[in-house]
Structure 1
């Protein structure tokens, strides 16, 4: 079996563990933080130890490309996070914030 048999290459910047919605980046992030494969399994219990080992081995065999992949992914995530901070809140969020303000006023009036 090839290492690639454990992975789904959905797009250049979207590599998933086959049969899961979990990205290879999730496994690699834990690995780079010093987690053992068994500790990664406890964090991502829907994976098998075999798939975790395959993801780590794929990373180690393709380190330069995977480091570039991880960097692109981190930049993309940061960009989307920054965009979400500057975006207009959804109507639901607006209603919840208004409800919270009204609730706090009511509580203060009852004191």
Structure 2
């Protein structure tokens, strides 16, 4: 997370990779001060390998958690069950 906001580092980098400017990113996530957007992007550009490794590890971790939750709480037929409860 960018300090003082609920915007994760991953979100800003994901916006930057396809070519959004720091100003456009700031407009999309206006709770992040423009100076902080520049700081995050500068850090990313200077430490790309480390940040990419961190992002990959986060994705692996998130995938494991997602799989565990989906196994524990399957969504098979969930829509039908909800519609049945609503009486439709």
Compare CA radii of gyration and give the structure with the larger one.
1
User: Which residue, 9, 23, 39 being the options, matches 1:38?
Assistant: 23
What CA deviation, in whole Å up to 9, does each residue of 1:5-26 have, x standing for no partner? xxxxxxxxxxx21222322121
Structure 1-normalised TM-score?
0.64
Partner of 1:107: none
Structure 2-normalised TM-score?
0.78
Q: Are 2:28 and 1:24 aligned?
A: no
The 5-angstrom pairing of residues 39-54 of structure 1 reads 39-54=24-39
**Structure 2: runs of 5+ lacking an equivalent:** none
**Structure 1: runs of 5+ lacking an equivalent:** 1-15, 105-111
Q: Distance in 1 between matches of 2:65 and 2:41?
A: 27
CA RMSD of aligned residues (A): 2.1
Q: Distance in 1 between matches of 2:82 and 2:10?
A: 38
Equivalent residue pairs, number: 84
Give the number of the structure whose residues are more often strand, by fraction: 1
